[in-house]
């Protein structure tokens, strides 16, 4: 009896699997195609957004540059009207302003020396 049951069960399971594959594979293909179209649209929108933001950033930089140029020329005109040729103290005459801070080792030694003396 069990061999008769297996003989009937195998074709029934095969039929169910075939029917599922017939309807499942096209549906799966449809879902995959829609998913990739959605991803493609998302990438296109992201690319447009990046281009627009880059153009906007360049426009802002150009505006800032024009404002800086206008302020510089205005400052130059004011200096000419007042008879001032150059600023009173150019940076080249103050090289100590252009130097960086002391090395951290030298600063650490200066701070550590009094502490060590107090401990002794």
Per-residue pLDDT of the chain (120 residues; tens, 9 = 90+): 578 888 889 999 999 999 999 999 999 999 999 999 999 999 999 999 999 999 999 999 999 999 888 877 777 667 677 666 555 555 555 556 556 556 555 555 555 555 555 554
User: What is the pTM assigned to this prediction?
Assistant: 0.43
pLDDT at position 74 is 75
CA 8/CA 16 separation, integer angstroms: 13
Compute the distance between CA of residue 15 and CA of residue 89 in angstroms, rounded to an integer.
95
Q: How far is CA 77 from CA 42, 63, 84, 91, in A?
A: 52, 21, 10, 21
In this predicted structure, what is the pLDDT of residue 106?
54
The pLDDT of residue 98 is: 56
| Distance, CA of 108 to CA of 117 (rounded, Å) | 14
């Amino acid at each position: 009896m069990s061999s008769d049951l297996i003989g009937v069960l195998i074709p029934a399971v095969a039929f169910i699997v075939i029917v599922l594959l017939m309807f499942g594979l096209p549906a799966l293909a449809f879902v995959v195609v829609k998913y990739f179209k959605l991803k493609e649209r998302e990438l296109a929108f992201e690319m447009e957004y990046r281009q627009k933001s880059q153009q906007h950033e360049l426009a802002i930089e150009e505006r800032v540059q024009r404002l800086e140029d206008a302020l510089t020329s205005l400052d130059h005109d004011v200096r000419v009207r007042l008879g001032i040729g150059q600023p009173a103290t150019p940076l080249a005459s103050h090289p100590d302003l252009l130097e960086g801070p002391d090395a951290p080792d030298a600063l650490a030694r200066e701070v550590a020396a009094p502490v060590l003396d107090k401990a002794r």
